[in-house]
Amino acid sequence: MDPLAGRIAVVTGAASGLGRAMALAFAAEGMHVALADVDEANLARTADEVRARGVRALALRTDVSRAVDVDMLAARTVSDLGGVHLVCNNAGVSPLGAAWENSVADWRWALGVNLWGVVHGVRAFTPHLLAQNEGHIVNTASVAGLISPPGMSVYNVTKHAVVALSETLHHDLRERGAKVGVSVLCPAYVPTGIADSERNRPPEFADSAPVQSPELLAKKEGLKKAVRSGKVSADEVAQAVVAAIKGGHFYILTHPRIKGAIQARMQDILDERSPRNPLAL
């Protein structure tokens, strides 16, 4: 989809991190942007930054795990901004822990945001894009959707599901002959607030797990350090997304060095052997 100027984008998780960077990148391309997040204060700041680039912005508090919220986001985007051409289902959270350590609340929270948020976005917006036979959908997954690092069971499950949904959506659209593109974004560590997503955990999903193990505490601290030290910035990822939209590329792999771990996983499957630890390769 090119050019982007004058068209309308939707970005969830737009209050910070990759969502904010994508929203600003789209605004720099001349797109009007609908911004969604549960963090209303930072969402308003992002909206002001978007407007400062000479385009319109709609900021709407949205819990992407709730179908009614995403349906309202779609309706307000069309009514307030006049349409929709690009949808970035980006909101995400990252509870950690060994497969047996995560609480039911962890699973429900992460599945709601990371997976149901994308499901709701696809369901609510794709009919609009099909009706005009034009547009693009970007679903934010992770390299954790292509490999399965230890200590990240909940996150891995949700991100593998997002990759599968995106691939199937691509096939479904191609089968219909629709001129609607799909991309799946699979970054590795990027300096964003994803490691601090607990700040937005709803009270109804409060962590009810027993005292956290030393291993889990170390894993959390390790993730924060890895995210802070990420060599690829959120702005660089956003530019890669813009390039993929313009070029019609499906997989967006922003960290080429991770391809070795992806290849190793595929080879383990084909050779029918036990999976190697991708963090040890």
CATH number, domain of 164, equals 3.40.50.720
Could you give the CA distance from residue 9 to residue 193 in angstroms, rounded to a whole number? Answer: 22
**Domain range for 159:** 8-280
Structural domain contains residue 142? yes
Tokens of 161: 């599901």
Structural domain contains residue 1? no
Structural domain contains residue 3? no
Tell me which residues are annotated as active site. 155
- Give the C-alpha distances (Å, rounded to integers) separating 274 from 5, 105, 271: 49, 30, 9
pLDDT confidence band for 232 (50 / 70 / 90): confident
Structural domain contains residue 95? yes
Helix (DSSP H) and strand (DSSP E) numbers for the chain: 9, 7
Decide: 61 and 38 in contact? Cβ < 8 Å. Answer: yes
Write out pLDDT tens, residues 79-118. 999 999 999 999 999 888 888 988 888 999 999 999 999 9
Provide the number of structural domains found in the chain: 1
pLDDT confidence band for 223 (50 / 70 / 90): low
Decide: 5 and 33 in contact? Cβ < 8 Å. Answer: no
Predicted local distance difference test score (pLDDT) of residue 38:
95
Predicted local distance difference test score (pLDDT) of residue 170:
98
Flag the least confident range among 94-103, 151-160, 254-263, 267-276: 94-103
Which DSSP string corresponds to 57-115?
Answer: EEEEE--TTSHHHHHHHHHHIIIIIS--SEEEE-------B-TTT--HHHHHHHIIIII
Structural domain contains residue 228? yes
- Give the C-alpha distances (Å, rounded to integers) separating 5 from 18, 29, 87, 96, 157: 21, 6, 15, 39, 36
pLDDT confidence band for 195 (50 / 70 / 90): low
Structural domain contains residue 27? yes
Q: Is the pLDDT of residue 192 over 70?
A: no
User: For residues 229, 235, 237 and 243, what is the CA-based torsion angle, rounded to 10 degrees?
Assistant: -160
Q: What pairs with residue 140 in β-bridges?
A: 185
Predicted local distance difference test score (pLDDT) of residue 186:
96
Predicted local distance difference test score (pLDDT) of residue 280:
85
Structural domain contains residue 2? no
Q: Is the pLDDT of residue 219 over 70?
A: no
Structural domain contains residue 219? yes
pLDDT above 90 coverage of the chain, percent: 76
